[in-house]
Amino acid sequence: MQQVTMTVRTDANLKNVFTRLCEEFGMSANTAMNIFMRAVAETQSIPFTIAKRRDIEADNLMRLLEENMKANLTRPEMSIEEINAEITACRAERKASRNRETV
């Protein structure tokens, strides 16, 4: 049987954990990948259940967004005068900054 090389890109931490576990199982990562590929070829399917896994970081981000939305709903909106005052102050600061740069 002719041998070929296959390159797989993966996260470095995942590779390290996978390699270490394979060694604990008494095989190389290469052997484990060959076992996996043979199982896929023989069964014409992935030999384990693939289910949607919730991402903890995404969950945390959604929680923060929801909290922020609730906080924004309870905070009074700015008046048009306050908005214009902030714009005017920002423009004045930007102009002063440009003047300092040219000096």
Segment 15-21 long-range contacts (CB within 8 Å, at least 24 positions apart):
none
Segment 78-86 long-range contacts (CB within 8 Å, at least 24 positions apart):
none
Single-letter residue type at 87: I
| More confidently predicted of 35 and 69 | 35
| More confidently predicted of 74 and 102 | 102
- pLDDT at residue number 32: 94
Single-letter residue type at 8: V
| Integer angstrom CA distances of residue 14 from 11, 33, 42 | 5, 14, 26
Q: What is the pTM of this model?
A: 0.47
Confirm if 36 and 47 have CB atoms less than 8 A apart: yes
